[in-house]
Structure 1
């Protein structure tokens, strides 16, 4: 697992996803959530899980205005122009996607299970769930 921290952008997939959002806007968020929630997918691979968490982080920042965990300057600039009302329709999808990432048919919890920071990672993902309520 190419992870260098517990944060949503502290892995290669999350960092690359920030660029997708800058380029494609809220469409990238919706797409990441749709992939994570695909009813035909029996298992959520780590890459899709990372994308869903990064999308949830962007959504939470856009809805709350708290961009502290957004590390990419281009993404911060995009968020400064985003309107929470435009992002609000994605709230339920984002929450459901994060719940799927934490679920039994998801690779990320298994990958984190043997890591020293597993409890910290789960708490951080739990923070996202709270922010999207």
Structure 2
């Protein structure tokens, strides 16, 4: 994974996901977000979550959080250029579950960040994202 910073879109896979969203018809963008979040959240606890699936789930969660009260807009050049339509609020809870898997013991991404020396900063960014989503989801 080519990573250049700790932001939610600061890696090749997440940046490609931003481009994929731009390439999709507007009516299909929410489904792409849902699929990315479901892929991470739906992985069984005994299954190992691959870093590529995890970074896409983080990027999707950031886009969902951007539409929540207190959520930060995604302004990076690596995210989607085109605005997303208003998203189903149900995605907020799904995004929380996906982030919980991303930072869990059976996920590759925390291991990679732990080896990088920037793990604490990355973990703090995920925690902020999760807090916004959980608050907006009512849990």
| TM-score normalized with structure 2 length | 0.83
After TM superposition, list the pairs within 5 Å mapping 1:32-71 onto structure 2: 32-40=36-44, 42-64=47-69, 66-67=72-73, 69-71=74-76
Q: State the Cα deviation string for residues 66-109 of structure 1 (Å, max 9, x = none).
A: 31x43148725323xx22xx331101100000010000000000
Larger relative helix fraction: 1
Structure 2 regions of 5+ residues with no counterpart?
Answer: 135-139
SS in 1 for 2:83: helix
Distance 1:100 1:118, change over 3 A: same
Superposition RMSD in Å: 1.9
| TM-score normalized with structure 1 length | 0.86
Q: Indicate the residue corresponding to 2:31 in structure 1.
A: 27
Task: Say if 1:33 and 1:97, in contact at 8 Å, map to a contact too.
Answer: yes
After TM superposition, list the pairs within 5 Å mapping 1:46-125 onto structure 2: 46-64=51-69, 66-67=72-73, 69-72=74-77, 75-79=80-84, 82-83=85-86, 86-125=87-126
Q: Indicate the residue corresponding to 2:137 in structure 1.
A: none
Q: Distance in 2 between matches of 1:108 and 1:44?
A: 8
SS in 2 for 1:77: coil
Q: Distance in 1 between matches of 2:12 and 2:65?
A: 20
Structure 1 regions of 5+ residues with no counterpart?
Answer: none
Q: Indicate the residue corresponding to 1:12 in structure 2.
A: 12
SS in 2 for 1:75: coil
Q: Distance in 1 between matches of 2:43 and 2:57?
A: 15
Distance 1:99 1:63, change over 3 A: same
